[in-house]
Amino acid sequence: MILLATNKRDITTDFIVLELRRRDIPFQRLNCEDLPSSSVKFSPSKEQDWQIEIDGSILYLRDVRAAYYRRPGLPELPASDDIATHEYLASEWSALTRSLWNTLEGRWLNSPFAILRAEDKPRQLMLASKLGFLIPDTVVTNNFKAVTDFTANRGTIGKPLRHALIERGETGEVLFTHRLKQITPEDLEAISLAPVIYQGEIPKSYDVRVTVIGEQVFAVAIHSQEHKETTVDWRSGTRLDLHHETIQLPKKVRQKCVELTKALDLRFGAIDLVADKAGQYWFLEINPNGQWAWIERRTGLPLATAIVDELSRIAT
């Protein structure tokens, strides 16, 4: 049986569900926000003897042969005016989910702990460089002089070191990669507040999203330079007509993408590259749990099929 750890609103998991049903492969979807309404039992005297009962259905972790850590939701607890008790309960349910993930180690498409380690962007860049990828000149800093020295006489972009979303109540603000204007002394306070990734800007021909699934590599050119609002970051703006095109990467670049994914202890990776004006490919970053369903919808690439193939290999 294959376990899908996600949340109720995750549409991407629906693609996997359809493929599993098409093949008649047994699976169970665990929407993790529902865990506090479940009945959980574990006995350490019996190896991996976890039982989770939700809505009359019992999940036995010993039956799980492979698992996909997609987008688990935070445990949802009843509203309470007792903040201390609420925080205690949230902490206990979070501890339980970590225990569940540990129990499934070795059966994940991507282990949640490997995902956490792989999200380290400076580590990604160091590994990519060692593997022979071209990477932009980069400095990670909150030092004003380092920034002014780095940005002098060059085009520079800035992007977050970790979080790309600032939550403001029920809404949020996405921090897209942006092109920096000239640095002035008035920027000193803002720059010193937090470290930022500063990189020399690579003049693009187009962006490339590479989805690595096991040994398979699927590459899509995203023609970001066709529209002003997507020139620096193709995710910005609301261009529903942003052109996506399947491409074949050079063999050496494909190999590096697989090698990098393996070096990060992953079986799945969503890699962002840039193709420059000379046709060379530059590594920007890898998302160890990135979105992919929109690529399948836009291009017809069989990504859900490839993921289920890989889960089936893990299960054997």
117 and 247 fall within a common domain: yes
Domain-terminating residue out of 181, 201, 221: 201
The candidate with the shortest Cα–Cα distance to 284, out of 54, 168, 125, is: 125
List, for the chain, all residue ranges whose pLDDT scores fall below the cut of 70.
46-48, 163-174, 237
Question: pTM here?
Answer: 0.92
Residue entry with tokens 């000379």: 278
CA distance 125 to 127: 6
Dump strand ranges (E) for 104-170: 138-141, 156-159, 165-168
Query: How many domains is the chain partitioned into structurally?
Result: 3
Domain residue limits at 47 = 2-108
CA distance 45 to 170: 44
Give the pLDDT confidence score for residue 240 in this predicted structure: 79
Domain-terminating residue out of 201, 228, 253: 201
Give the pLDDT confidence score for residue 46 in this predicted structure: 67
Give the pLDDT confidence score for residue 286 in this predicted structure: 97
130 and 243 fall within a common domain: yes
294 and 174 fall within a common domain: no
Dump strand ranges (E) for the chain: 2-6, 27-31, 39-43, 49-54, 57-60, 66-69, 138-141, 156-159, 165-168, 171-174, 178-179, 196-200, 204-213, 216-222, 244-247, 268-276, 281-287
316 and 248 fall within a common domain: yes
The answer to whether the Cα torsion of 202, 206, 207, 208 is positive or negative is negative
CA distance 97 to 61: 12
Are 278 and 202 in contact by the 8 Å Cβ rule? The answer is no
239 and 168 fall within a common domain: no
CATH number (domain holding residue 214): 3.30.470.20
The candidate with the shortest Cα–Cα distance to 125, out of 251, 286, 287, is: 286
CATH number (domain holding residue 145): 3.30.1490
Residue entry with tokens 């940005």: 151
14 and 73 fall within a common domain: yes
- The count of other CB atoms within 10 Å of the CB of residue 143 is 14
Give the pLDDT confidence score for residue 143 in this predicted structure: 96
